[in-house]
Chain A
């Protein structure tokens, strides 16, 4: 029997996620739970968030060990005033035990990255800032429909550097419709010149339900530029590796030892709780997520109920497939023998044949029982995972 999270108190929660759904503008490529920024909604939302933290704190808040990572993301968390951020962190600390060296990360948009704001965040104990740059290039930013321009990108990066969090991340997005690979190469170069501890390079996916998905020209462009995107991806991997970065996950690079801790814990299958609209949680093989829309989320909490929208308890096959999928996205790969032991499935000759062929074609490396994809393999991670998955 898997534990029901509403009654169980003995599991250890290692990571917490807080979702801030407000944005200055809604990006045409974004598929997250977001709302245009209406300041009037901040108060009720933050109150509800405080209630949810308290509610889940009662069931999960006396962990066997302390929380090691907190991530405040969105949406755009930097739409919040510093006071509000302070209150959020207080709620967290009241209800959960945070490890002294816990990584507390916060997402900031360039238009909000003013020196005072950044200094204020650091003063609150936030020790990792992730800047949603996407690009330094004006045309790229316009094509992505971002709320900031090239000048703001540059100013934000400089402000972040001088604010001096030792641990910061820059987000870059490649594949804006109509923009060639040169702009992306310049972006990667410029971003790595700033020597951030961490870089996220995303290739634009046209997600169902987004504005981009409804635009046939964008879809057409994405379909015809897959190959070019692949080339840019491999170029960036080579370039950043040469500059001392580790390509440790499909879309993530870091200086040695500076992986995003929240990400790692999620990918490793640790227990984590998510708060706020659409936030996801995982506790001992039980996954659930909150209502994506503001109204039902607020209503649940008004009535003192957990705002869970969907819950599933994973079957052994689903757990095995998740582990495989997540491990193959990382440079550390999957330990086949351990996977067999943990999930009780046989790797078998069919999978081994595929693995062998991948190694032959330099899409994977084999080190004992460990199979890890190379950057070329990362480009095919979905297809490879699908082939290696067990029938569910």
Chain B
């Protein structure tokens, strides 16, 4: 009979740079999961992109054997979570596989806005939360003050919080001991029918789809027939294993355990993260409460730079969507850009990461249109439609009003920057709803914003306005009516659908001017003069001109060397493949993104 009393499943919650990955590495090292030589920097961040950006995107898992002070050996399953606000969904699915979480706070920085959001999520899921005070080696560290903040802000008892320096390996054993003694072992009955939560999945070109699963009831063995309760599909288990963090194959996984599973699944749509896996012979009566599927908040059009890459892009999106449930995509066609996809993302960072992964890992050249939020359009007929592409906005005569999504945002920053924060919030249609002093130096301000105002670069602006000290988090609070209009861009009098935006009416003139000015900067001189106009309906509100090229000819056609000149021109032509041609105007990729970065 397998013993679940010596299993602990836990996550680490932390703000970016508060030391989550470093702590994870120290625990792996301490328990002998890897020798010091095998330890790369931050083992858990395996994607190149994660290391470069210093953030964890995909949840990763590792199983560690820890010889505790009580003389027993425990299996500690660390389920990694992303730290950025965009990835709330990934956090929630990781937390669903755990009984406890470490809350790591940098004692030199204090509690940050994003920490709060994740802690609340963990509290909602009834997890045991262990505060850990990190970076006590820093001269500016103030562990007492941070402990007080945790108590006052979150309401957690921090008197027993372990004080550590993950960087220097101080306090690691104490953390491991607390995991063993404070986090409850998994409940569940090995004798019951199999119930396992799929909390991550990816495609491996050798074995097909690989899933990370957490068993809540029953057990699973290699060769068992399994069924996915949402899709109804059945497969035979081809392999099971754990990451220690090296990949280690096992014959079976039991109640309470965490591990990977593959079953020669070739079609990625057959599996769904959040689904419950059960036994085909002896199925469970009902699935586990999956976690609520979060809807994408930000949409943008992704178009392959050349038509031939359309299928490649489609395959790549399918693969990414497999373990990124928040990514949605559907086929769309633009008059200017041809065939592409309208993709939905959790936020702008999520969008950028998907874009970069497509370009870097799949080698796809893409043009991305300006991100937009979903609008609720209330028609005169009483019908309400969702619009996630400005070009699909119905004719204004049919519209009663448009509502846009709002969010409630929490900003935590040193009090001296309150003025700056208020200024940028006002520029972005923010409405202050509350302010609270955390101590004599730090303040938390609550705002309501239209989501559209913060999707692109609000976070960067906030960092600048607070010299890097400000942190920001938000949650959606529903739709509210707004006085919104569609702003179109015309190049040489022809509308370019991929450049349209929805903007508040009272800012439309300002944005129109800004937008045409930016396009002028990003579209190079052409054979012909290019006029750039911004229009609302039939009314032109701004105009810029790019004068035509003056000279573009080589004087000599070389004594008979015709090939060289032809090749030169052919090369120039090939170099323009990344541009999109609208009428006779060639538009480079940067121009499409430049339109949204309107507030400098």
Interface residues of A (CB under 8 A from B): 17, 19, 32, 71, 73, 202-205, 226-227, 229-230, 233, 250-251, 266-267, 272, 274, 279-282, 287, 289, 312, 318, 321-322, 325-326, 329, 353-354, 357-358, 361, 378-387, 389, 391-392
Given contacts A205-B556, A353-B583, contact A392 B570 (CB under 8 A): yes
Contact A274 B527 (CB under 8 A): no
Tally of A-B residue pairs with Cβ under 8 A?
105
Who on chain B is nearest to A15 by CB?
B560
Q: Which B residues from 527 to 577 make CB contacts under 8 A with A?
A: 527-528, 548-563, 565-566, 569-570, 572-573
In the complex, 14 of the A-B residue pairs with CB atoms within 8 angstroms, ordered by the A residue number, are A19-B559, A203-B555, A205-B554, A229-B551, A289-B561, A318-B566, A318-B570, A329-B557, A353-B583, A357-B584, A380-B553, A382-B553, A382-B569, A387-B584
Docked pose: A389 CA to B566 CA in angstroms: 10
Nearest CB of chain A from residue B400's CB, rounded to whole Å: 41
Q: Write the nearest CB–CB distance from B230 to chain A, whole angstroms.
A: 47
Nearest chain A residue, comparing its CB with the CB of B571: A386
A350 and B298 CA atoms in complex are apart in Å by 36
CB distance from A293 to the nearest CB of B (A): 16
A381: contacting residue among B553, B558, B561, CB under 8 A:
B553
Judge whether A250 and B553 touch: CB under 8 Å: yes
Taking CB atoms, residues of chain B closer than 8 Å to A353 are 583-584
Q: Which residues of B contact A71 (CB under 8 A)?
A: 559
CB-defined contacts of A382 to chain B, threshold 8 Å: 552-554, 569, 572
Min CB distance B336 to A, Å, is: 15
Query: Are B561 and A386 neighbours in the complex by a CB distance under 8 Å?
Result: no
Question: Which residues 568-600 of B sit at the A interface, judged by CB distance below 8 A?
Answer: 569-570, 572-573, 583-584
**B557 touching A326 by the CB < 8 A rule?**
yes
Q: Contacts A382-B569, A389-B569 hold; do A322 and B556 have CB atoms under 8 A apart? A: no
Q: How far is the CA of A312 from the CA of B573 in the complex (A)?
A: 20
Do B563 and A251 touch (CB < 8 A)? no
- Asked if B528 and A379 make an inter-chain contact with CB atoms under 8 angstroms apart, the answer reads no
Chain A's nearest CB lies how many Å from the CB of B165? 52
Q: Give the B interface residue count (CB, 8 A).
A: 26
A378 to B549, CA, bound (A): 12
A17 CB contact (under 8 Å) in B528, B559, B562, B584 = B559
Q: Is the CB of B555 within 8 A of A227?
A: no
Do A380 and B527 form a contact, CB below 8 Å, given A227-B551, A229-B551, A386-B569?
Answer: yes
> In the complex, what residue of chain B is closest to A387 when comparing beta carbons?
B527
Q: Which residues of A contact B552 (CB under 8 A)?
A: 379-383
Interface string of B212-245 (1 = CB under 8 A from A): 0000000000000000000000000000000000
B530 to chain A, nearest CB (A): 11
Closest partner residue, chain B, to A203 (CB atom): B555
Residues of chain B touching chain A, judged by Cβ–Cβ distance below 8 Å, are: 527-528, 548-563, 565-566, 569-570, 572-573, 583-584
Knowing A251-B556, A379-B550, A389-B573 touch, does A354 contact B562 (C-beta < 8 A)?
A: no
Task: Given A389-B569, A389-B570, decide whether A379 and B551 contact each other with a Cβ distance below 8 A.
Answer: yes
Question: B527 near A73 (CB under 8 angstroms)?
Answer: no
Q: B560 and A282: CB pair below 8 A?
A: yes
Question: A265: nearest residue on chain B (CB-CB)?
Answer: B560
When chains A and B are docked, how far (Å) is the Cα of A279 from the Cα of B559?
8
Is the pair B573, A386 in contact by a Cβ cutoff of 8 Å? yes
State A389–B575 Cα separation when bound (angstroms). 14
Q: Which residue of A lies closest to B527 (CB)?
A: A383
- Given A19, A205, A312, A325, which contacts B555 in the complex, CB threshold below 8 Å? A205
Tell me, rounded to whole Å, the shortest Cβ–Cβ distance linking A306 to chain B.
Answer: 16
Which residue of chain B has the shortest Cβ distance to A378 in the bound complex? Answer: B553
The residue in chain B whose Cβ has the minimal distance to the Cβ of A266 is B560
Seed contacts A280-B563, A385-B569; 4 additional CB < 8 Å A-B pairs? A205-B556, A266-B560, A267-B557, A280-B558
B6 shortest CB reach to chain A, Å: 66
Shortest Cβ distance from A250 into B: residue: B553
Which of B555, B559, B562 contacts A287, CB < 8 Å? B562
Cβ of B562 and Cβ of A379 under 8 Å apart? no
Task: Tell me the minimal C-beta distance from B580 to chain A in angstroms.
Answer: 14
Residue among B549, B554, B559, B565 facing the most chain A CB atoms (10 A cut-off): B559
Inter-chain contacts of A267 with B (CB < 8 A): 557
Asked if A272 and B560 sit within 8 Å, CB to CB, the answer is yes
Q: A89 to nearest B CB, angstroms?
A: 19
Given known pairs A202-B555, A383-B552, the reply for A322 and B560 (CB within 8 Å) is no
- Which residues of chain A come closer than 8 Å to B583, judged between CB atoms? 353
